[in-house]
Amino acid sequence: MADLAHAFHGHDAPSGPQAPSRDEAVRRARRLNVATIAWNSIEGVIAVVAGLAAGSVSLIGFGFDSGIEVSAALILTWRLRQERKDGCTQDSDRTATRAIAVSFAVLAVYVSYDAATDLVARTEPAGSVPGIVLAALSLAVMPSLARAKRRLAPALGSAAAAADAKQTSLCALLSAVVLVGLAANVLLGWWWADPGAAIVIALIAAAESLRTWRADSLEDTCCT
């Protein structure tokens, strides 16, 4: 949480309309990556454990999405390190962007299969209060982190950074979907709300996979 707070305040938030320099943008992006990895590592473990305990496919899928968010941050870390080695990063940026797109696709396939299986078998998950609390916390944190990343993408000239910001925005959206599904199951006894929420997660992830894969590269400012 300390890393996350540090990423949102002080030097990590633009103080005015002037865009940060490229070096400063790279430094901020690295700090945001550290915050992303720290938060999502904890979130992912808790979500998967709570999901397995409750038999909640949406919560398990949410936990795996946190793992993919970590992988996206690690991919972007690699992308930023390439900037030190090469005079131009267009090729590495394209590779990183495609890798993030594949991570979306993996999540979509896994979650859709599990959700469909649960719906056909009429598997009724148990209520998960820890899952509800976790989803609510994520919904409070992820939008701010996504905005901070999105502001840096133009200064970095990086489609990979933009894709990583979209992945964080997706995490926020999935938090809301999971929260609704878990709450409906606990409060209303709607067992189908959990796998239904998981299918929504899968559809969103599949759409983001295609959009990210087809994304045009931003102008690479280190090549200008």
> Is 98 inside any structural domain?
yes
Q: Per the domain annotation, does 16 fall within a domain?
A: no
The CA distance from 161 to 154, in Å, is 9
Taking the alpha carbons of 146, 26, 209, 74 in that order, is the dihedral positive or negative?
Answer: negative
What is the maximum alpha-carbon separation in the chain? 58
Record the tokens describing residue 73, joined without a space: 């941050």
Mean pLDDT calculated for residue range 69-92: 71
* Chain length of the chain: 224
Once rounded to an integer, what is the mean pLDDT over residues 16-21?
Answer: 60
In a domain, 12, yes or no: no
The 10s digit of each residue's pLDDT in 27-71 is 888 888 888 899 999 999 999 999 999 988 888 988 988 887 888
CATH code assigned at 116 = 1.20.1510
Q: Is residue 224 assigned to a domain?
A: no
Predicted confidence band at 74 (pLDDT cuts at 50, 70, 90)?
A: confident
The boundaries of the domain holding residue 87 are 2-7+21-216
Residue 179 lies in a domain: yes
In a domain, 140, yes or no: yes
Q: 68-96 as b/e, with b when 16 or more CB fall inside 10 Å? A: bbbbbbebbbebbebbeeeeebbebbbbb
Q: What is the mean pLDDT of residues 215-221?
A: 50
- 100 Cβ contact partners less than 8 Å away, ≥ 6 residues apart: 72, 75, 76, 160, 163, 164, 167, 212
pLDDT given for residue 174 in this prediction: 84
How far from 159 is each of 92, 107, 139, CA to CA, in Å? 10, 21, 25
Is 14 among the domain residues? no
Backbone conformation region of residue 22, classed left if phi is above 0, alpha if psi is from -120 to 50, else beta: alpha
Measured in whole angstroms, the distance separating CA 23 from the mean position of its chain's CA atoms is 24
pLDDT tens for 117-145 read 888 888 888 888 999 999 999 999 999 98
More confidently predicted of 198 and 157: 198
pLDDT in tens, 173-186: 889 988 999 999 88
- pLDDT at residue 97 greater than cutoff 50: yes
pLDDT at 15 over 60: no
pTM over 0.85: no
pLDDT at position 88: 53
With tokens 């990210």, the residue in question is 212
CA distance 89 to 79: 8
**pLDDT on residue 222:** 43
What integer pLDDT is reported at residue 4 of this predicted model? 47
**Mean pLDDT to the nearest integer, 191-201:** 88
Residue 83 within a domain: yes
Q: How many domains does the chain divide into?
A: 1
